[in-house]
Amino acid sequence: MSSIATQTEKKPSNDHSAKGTRTMKALVYQGGGKIEWKEVPKPGIEKPTDALIKVLKTTICGTDLGILHGKTPSCKPGTTLGHEGVGVIEEVGSSVSKFKKGDRVIISCISADGTCEYCKKQMYSLCEDGGWILGHLINGTQAEYVRIPHADMSLYAIPEGVDEEAAVMLSDILPTGHEIGVIKGQVKPGDTIAIVGAGPIGMAALLTAQFYSPARIYMIDLDDSRLKLAKELGATDTINSGSEDAVKRIMSETKHGVDVAMEAVGIPSTWDICQKIVRSGGNIANIGVHGQKVDLQLQDMWIRDITISMGLVNTNTTSMLLKTVESGKLEPKKLISHRFKLNEIEKAYTVFENAAKEKSFKMILSN
């Protein structure tokens, strides 16, 4: 998940009491920085367009930590977290036509009705009856079962032979890095690009940027183990901005700065690096979820023809990325550092949160 969506016009609906008396376990946001793996009512089909999914594998996103830390007040206590995962369909509503019981599917972090004005323009993140609602405004995927609205538009069949763990990376991080970093940043062959932030999203941008053959890819982070992984995944140059001045080094090595600077952290200092290293005529692609305002140096940038872009992933390139995973061109399993059972998810959150100490990256939680 790349960008914060307050989506205040959409009403939260985390009512666990909707269906039946059967229960399941889920990771529920308790408010005040707390989460709990607890028993909740099992979801069921509520609308004819819904599918009920038994979760096979899910993961934890930086955005989930953002919710815990109060970055996303639109997510109310009582909501099951999680917007990524793969599962098997348990039941479909009467108007779901593309999927049936038993199908293995990728759950997209973005739900889309496919019919509203935004969906007609493939801007699914802005869907009037969807967008980023999973694990935010409705109960999410860090649970034994999840109800997925608008199933035909919001699920992707997993082709035979595609690994389930690799497929989890297609729920959010790969399309986010690709669409909001690489496509909006307009990466072209021969470009010099810089990705500020070597977390899962920055790394997804690194992997997918290489489809467009940039000549040079700088990866900037504070964590040497993440920079080492970035090198393995295709970065040509890495900079630890804690031990050296990233702006100075890039400006001295590139003459004019970088063609594309991607912000993949979401804090003022990383934004600042981007606006200082982008060359005239270049692009700043903001992927990070910001919880506070940044200092925009518009007075310096306006005359230099800088394009600034941002947004929440639309997942309109998910099918395309799935084909690259299927062919082995893209190997997202390299982003997985830890594996846990789903009922160990509280421990997994701790490991994920202490990323530098634990050398944690993407976690896989198996149900």
Please give the helix or strand (H or E) that residue 326 lies within, else none: helix 318-327
Q: Which is nearer to Zn ion, 84 or 113 (CB)?
A: 113
Nearest residue to 171 (alpha-carbon basis) of 211, 141, 136 = 141
Compute the least distance from the CB of residue 128 to Zn ion, in Å.
5
When the beta carbons of 50 and 113 are compared against Zn ion, the nearer one is: 113
Q: Which two tokens stand for residue 59?
A: 């993961």
Query: Based on CB atoms, which residue is closest to Zn ion, 10 or 290?
Result: 10
Q: Which residue, 127 or 209, is less far from Zn ion as judged by CB?
A: 127
Subset of 54-113 contacting Zn ion (CB under 5 A): 113
- The answer to whether residue 325 forms part of the interface with Zn ion (CB under 5 A) is no
Cβ distance to Zn ion smaller for residue 127 or 306? 127
Residues 116-145 that bind Zn ion (CB under 5 A): 116, 119, 127
- What's the CA gap between 53 and 158, in Å, rounded? 14
| Least distance from Zn ion to the Cβ atom of residue 235, Å | 36
- Judged by CB under 5 A, the stretch of 29-37, 115-123, 207-215, 276-284 that binds Zn ion is 115-123
Q: How far is CA 21 from CA 39, 46, 113, 140, 199, in A?
A: 12, 15, 29, 19, 40
The separation between CA 326 and the C-alpha centre of its own chain, rounded to angstroms, equals 20
Q: Which is nearer to Zn ion, 31 or 114 (CB)?
A: 114
| Token pair 């198996």 in the structure block, residue | 366
Least CB distance from residue 164 to Zn ion, whole Å? 28
Count the residues of the shown chain that bind Zn ion, applying the rule CB under 5 A. 4
Continuous segment of H or E residues that includes residue 237: strand 237-240
CB 13, min distance to Zn ion, A: 17
Q: Is 101 exposed, middle or buried (0-12, 13-18, 19+ CB in 10 A)?
A: exposed
Query: In the complex, what is the shortest distance from the CB of residue 115 to Zn ion, in angstroms, rounded to a whole number?
Result: 6
The total number of residues written for the chain in this structure? 367
- In 151-200, beta strands by DSSP E: 155-157, 192-196
Distance from C-alpha of 106 to C-alpha of 191, rounded to nearest angstrom = 32
Residue type, 167: A
Q: Minimum distance from CB of 130 to Zn ion (Å)? A: 6
- Looking at residue 18, its amino acid is A
**Closest CB 124 distance from Zn ion, rounded Å:** 7
Binding site for Zn ion (CB under 5 A): 113, 116, 119, 127
